[in-house]
Amino acid sequence: MTAPAADLFSALMATTGLFFCFWHMWHYDRFRCLVATRNDWFRALMCYILLASVASLFSFTWIEVKVSYAEYYVSIEGETIVAPWQLWTQHHQRLWRISIYILTIGWTFLQSIHLEEFLYWGYLISSLRSIGGPKTSWLRSPYFRFWVLASLAQIALLFGAVSIETTNLNMMRAYVFMVGSPISCLLALASFYLVLIFPSFIATSRRQGAAPEVLERLHFFAEMNQIRTVFRFIYAAAFLILAADAVTPEQRINKNSFASDCIFLCGQFGIFTSTCLSVIVLLPRNMTSESLPVQGADLHPFSAYKRPAPPGSRRHFHELGDRLNVERDALGALVEDIELSPDLDKGSSRHNSPTPDPEAPFVDAADKAKRARYSEFPILPSVVQKFKSPFEINTSREGRRSGPTQVFVTTSQTVHREE
């Protein structure tokens, strides 16, 4: 049993994590991610599962705080010792038992989210490697079916573990950690596998023409996943150590106050840090759109200022001063070594398309051969082109339009020449 101060610190971390989830969802889309629509029902479902997992861990930690501060110490014959759970009141024993069931619920939800994220990345990577893109959508793919079956299996395992012992409160939590921590270790290994293969996935997406916005999201996920993987290993290993020591006769770690509190706090810190990073990754905010002014605002755009060339100055110094916003004295001897930029005609489009050189008669043929080689590369699947996050699953059919019925009228005209 951990000390009351350790339980209180873990409860404060859980409170911070819960408030961060609500804060991020509000700034993400004003809680619209929680509204289930025809196309975004899966995202809403996963958001509710994420909130339920964090809220369950929040409730678990605060119930432990209440019980530990009320029952942790007991005075026997003038000596104060740590009270065993057998000396607790029936009310506090019942609360502790309920908190372990709440922990089981929250842990199953959290592991389901981690598994869904890993399998969705597997679906994206296989879609990129398959010729012609994905054959089915995410909801009809084998990855989704495996996620449903694996989630049900780990729920059954954890609830089976918590039901092994219903009297000994210490062993109830030990059995939950004994079953849940190996599953978390497997998910951490899966996350580490993504760390290894993700650079090649980003390179393939870039070669096949992914948009810069998609590449930016992929790079952001790669960096966040590296950090999350470390914290996932930390909390999985911490809970596994406590559970393995609890089933030994000596219980050297659990009976050592410093060791048990330190390992338990490392596990709590790891689980809530990785969860907060998962919220940022699974619901990525678009800072570009958030920084744009609201529509209808009274805007006064500024035109670019062109400094007039001072008389007698050299053109390259004038151009450099415009770029760096410095005066001639600050440049010194560097002025004479600045290479002139070519004078571009803004009204002409010749710098957009290169002018053929009459001295190179095979330039056109070479360009056609290069375009032919580029056309042999596979096209980036639409599931990758429209990627936002593992929660953003578009369930609408391709080509379906929403809104009122649209009518398109086409006309043709034939001209006959009379001789």
pLDDT tens for residues 53-102? 999 999 999 999 999 999 888 877 777 778 888 888 999 999 999 999 99
Q: How many independent structural domains does the chain possess?
A: 2
Domain range for 153: 4-284
In single-letter form, the type of residue at position 29 comes to: D
Q: Tell me: do 15 and 147 sit in the same domain.
A: yes
Helix (H) / strand (E) containing 405: none
Question: How far is Cα 276 from Cα 16, in angstroms, rounded to an integer?
Answer: 9
Question: Do the domain assignments include residue 294?
Answer: no
pLDDT of 36 above 70: yes
Q: Answer yes or no: is 403 within a domain.
A: no
Residue (of 176, 173, 149, 171) closest to 160 by Cα position: 176
User: Do residues 125 and 173 both lie within one domain?
Assistant: yes
241 and 328 both lie in a single domain: no
Q: Is the pLDDT of residue 150 over 90?
A: yes
Q: Tell me the average pLDDT across 274-290.
A: 81
Band of pLDDT at residue 406, cut at 50, 70 and 90:
very low
Q: How confident is the model at residue 231 (pLDDT cuts 50, 70, 90)?
A: very high
Q: Are both 127 and 233 inside the same structural domain?
A: yes
- Name the 3-class secondary structure at 364: helix
Flag whether 58 is in a domain.
yes
CA 380/CA 385 separation, integer angstroms: 7
In the 8-state DSSP scheme, what is residue 349?
-
Q: In CATH, what number is assigned to the domain containing residue 224?
A: 1.20.1070
Task: Give the number of other CB atoms < 10 A from CB of residue 147.
Answer: 20
Spatial neighbors of 342 by CB under 8 A, at least 6 apart, are: none
Task: Report helix, strand or coil for 81.
Answer: strand
The rounded distance, in Å, linking the Cα atoms of 275 and 99 is 20
CB of 162 within 8 A of CB of 175? Answer: yes
Name the percent of the chain lying above pLDDT 90. Answer: 40
Whether residues 164 and 228 fall in one domain? yes
Q: Does residue 408 belong to any structural domain of this protein?
A: no
- Determine the Cα–Cα distance for residues 49 and 56; give it in Å rounded to an integer: 10
Do both 180 and 329 map to the same domain?
no
Mean pLDDT of 375-384: 52
Indicate whether 280 and 313 sit together in one domain. Answer: no
Same domain, 130 and 167: yes
Q: Are residues 334 and 191 in the same domain?
A: no
Residue among 45, 35, 9 nearest 269 (CA): 9
Is 395 among the domain residues?
A: no
Residue 413: pLDDT band by 50, 70, 90 thresholds? low
Residue 216 banded pLDDT, cuts 50, 70, 90: confident
In a domain, 297, yes or no: no
pLDDT at position 299, please? 53
Residue 18 included in any domain: yes
Instruction: Give Cα 265 to chain centroid, integer Å.
Output: 24
In a domain, 400, yes or no: no
Last residue of a domain, one of 293, 323, 338: 338
Tokens of 137: 């959508």
Q: How far is the first Cα of the chain from the last one, in angstroms, to the nearest whole number? A: 105
The Cα 236–Cα 181 span in angstroms is: 5
Predicted pLDDT of residue 128: 77
What single-letter DSSP state applies at residue 351? T
pLDDT at 207: 83
